[in-house]
Structure 1
Amino acid sequence: MADNNTTAADGGSSSSLQQVNDRIIIVQVMNAIFIYIICLLIFTFFKKDTFLSNTRYIFFAHTLLVDCLYLIMTNNLLLLTYFSVTMPAAVCVFFCVLLCELTFVTPLTLTAMSLERYVAICMPLRHGELSTVRRAIHCILLIHSISAIQPIIIVSIFFASVPLGFYTQYKLCSAEMFIAHKWQRHLRSVIGQFYFLVMSITIVLTYVRIIAVAKEASENKKSLSKCRKTVILHAIQLFLCLIQLWCPFIEAAILPINLKLYNNVRFFDYIVFILAPRCLCPLVYGLRDEKFFLAIKYYVFFGTMIYCVNLKVYFNERLAMLHMCLS
């Protein structure tokens, strides 16, 4: 079946190859834009002491760091696969385990952020006690521990299923490489669906309660409208992140049917369920947050102007010294 599909794909016109090349270029441009925005937000976070002591911004910065690393790694693996560059299986194991963990870190961090907002709005008297920098760091470590459960289980089974000589072989890196038995795919599906269910229930219950309390307490319709829009954007982002957990199962079901359809679905999944949520994160917590937006605007405009002025003064001083030496 795969040979027939490959032959059919190779027998297509040259425009099909051009379409694939265009897709790669589109992905590179989008990745570059998103990574630049994320790096700008990370720089802004570390330049302000008030952000470093706020739990919500700590979670936000953690999400940005994870998303930046995730985008870089997925893009590199995409290019390696596109150009058919192989690597030792042992190196691929390391990259895939890290990617699998990062896949769960982002939605789990967003879930923690929703719980933090729940405490801030529904339990304001205990927010100062529960929402501390130390607790935020402990929560981040817990998030990474929970995220590592699935890759550890899958890799442990994989280690017990393949010979040692496998790790020195050069292969195209893919998460499907770790599926030595059919039941492993079912196990991965069960774990992913369990994560999906728990996070979905937590997010829905949390935000229903947040909106209800905000509606009762807020007399400012403008503030309430902004809160609702932020909640909607946050819910869309979380929904896309959670749907990403289902993408490998859908792609695995399509692969034996049609290779061209499989490639189209993978490109769609990458744009909608990987790049789009990482774009919404800066929008929800960066540009829509008044304090963060003002800090970004300062460093983008005034910070650049100050740097240019200092650079001009530096060059003028150097030119004056050079003129004195020559005279």
Structure 2
Amino acid sequence: MSLPLNSTTEQQYQSILERAIAFTLCTIPACVFLFVNCTMLFTLRSKAVFRVTCRYILLFNLLFADTVHLVLCQVLFLLSACGIRLTYPVCGTLTILANFTNVAAPLTLMVMSLERYVAVCFALRHATIVTIRNTRLAVAAVWTICSLHDTLRVILVLDFPFEDLESLQMNDVCSDLTMWLGSRSKTYDNVFTGLLFVSAAAVIILSYTGVIIAARSASTGKASALKACNTLMLHLVQLCLILSATIYSPMLLALRKIVTHVVFSRLHRFLYVLMILFPRCLSSLIYGLRDQAIRPLLLGHLCCRLKRKTVAVSG
């Protein structure tokens, strides 16, 4: 009788140990990325020139959306790693907020690409087209579209007959897939995601093509056009990384059916860092290290905060 008891105790210990390792390995990178993102956000608010320059306003909006999305994704991942099951209302709230910030990123990239296109192809009119007022209107439009999208998602979810359920407690861990209640909700989400990324890719590619054509003309500065082309290519890479995050949940659902629980847990942690955490930190690194105005301030703030933490720990 003691053998099964010891075996059960050992299995429970291994399960707790695996969850602790998963928590550590995924929480530490998330905290590092959040630290970098928050420092970047602070840097963009540390000088007046960043607060009144249109492209920096758009960059702040992109980083803010990425940072909030990263926090929400980390919360959902830890709940999943710990096997904590939520109620449908709580899970729905978390997934809708995560989707809200996720949609803002490709929309902001579209606006940023158009701003670079105007800066190169309509350089003389750039100051009159890309104004502070128009930039704020564009940011407001981005969040309005996100709000409308989430409102429709809530309406479709509420159409599900919850009264037929014995309890609002979920039978599975909280994720975006578990909140696809009904075929209409799944169809709408797939169609919207497809249209969003096709539209964003089209805008970025067309902007890149327009800049390339302008760069070949004698009236356009070669250096500024080349820099704009590089920036637009980075926008396209960012869009692809964000798109990879949208296939994260379906990929996990497929893997769960073909691999063992132990293998799935390891793949879950690896894919989470690769497809969710890593893309959301790239914006800070790409823009913070490339931009000559931001880089010294960002590095200064990062080094200053690290020194303060070191002094505090040693003290």
TM range (shorter): 0.7 to 0.9
Match of 1:290 in 2: 292
Write out per-residue CA displacement over residues 14-33 of structure 1, whole angstroms, 9 at most, x where no aligned residue.
98986665444232121111
Residues 186, 252 of structure 1: CA spacing in aligned structure 2 closer, same or farther, 3 A cutoff? farther
For 2:215 and 2:116, locate their aligned partners in 1 and report how far apart those are by CA, in whole Å. Answer: 11
- Alignment of 1:94 with 2:96, yes or no, is no
Name the structure 1 match of 2:154.
Answer: 155
Asked if the contact 1:90–1:168 (Cα under 8 Å) also holds between the matched residues in 2, the reply is: no
2:3 alignment partner in structure 1: none
1:319 paired residue number: none
Q: Partner letter of residue 110 of structure 2?
A: T
Check whether the contact 2:244–2:275 (CA below 8 A) recurs between aligned residues: yes
> What is the distance in 2 between the residues matched to 1:130 and 1:269?
41
Q: Aligned partners of 1:248, 1:304: CA distance in 2, in Å?
A: 35
- Deviation of residue 113 (structure 1)? 0.7
2:32 match: 33
Work out whether 1:105 is the aligned partner of 2:99.
Answer: no
User: CA separation of 1:250/1:299 partners in 2, compared to 1, >3 Å: closer, same or farther?
Assistant: closer
* Counterpart for residue 270 of structure 1: 272
Q: TM (normalized to structure 1)? A: 0.77
Q: Distance in 2 between matches of 1:122 and 1:71?
A: 35
What is the alpha-carbon distance in structure 1 between the residues aligned to residue 193 and residue 61 of structure 2? 22
- Rg larger in structure: 1
Contact 1:41 1:296 in 2 (8 A): yes
Name the SS of the counterpart of 1:174 in structure 2: coil
2-structure distance, mates of 1:113, 1:80 = 34
Name the SS of the counterpart of 1:180 in structure 2.
Answer: coil
Distance 2:79 2:242 in 1: 24
Residue pairs, 1:299-314, within 5 angstroms: 299-300=301-302
Q: Alpha-carbon deviation of 1:191?
A: 1.7
C-alpha distance in structure 2 between counterparts of 1:167 and 1:115, whole Å: 51
Q: Give the superposition deviation at 1:227.
A: 5.1
What one-letter code is carried by the residue in structure 1 that aligns with 2:238?
Q
Alignment of 1:121-160 (within 5 A): 121-160=120-159
The offset of 1:103, in angstroms, is: 1.2
Q: Identify unmatched segments of 5+ residues in structure 1.
A: 1-11, 308-327
- CA-to-aligned-CA distance 1:288-317 (integer Å, 9 cap, x gap): 100111322444567999x9xxxxxxxxxx
Counterpart residue number, 1:235: 236
Quote the sequence identity (%): 25
1:44 Cα offset (Å): 1.2
Give CA deviations for 1:79-105 in whole Å, capped at 9, x if unaligned.
Answer: 112112233332222111111111111
- How many positions carry a matched residue from both structures? 294
Distance 1:69 1:235 in 2: 22
Name structure 2 gaps, 5 residues minimum: 1-10, 309-315
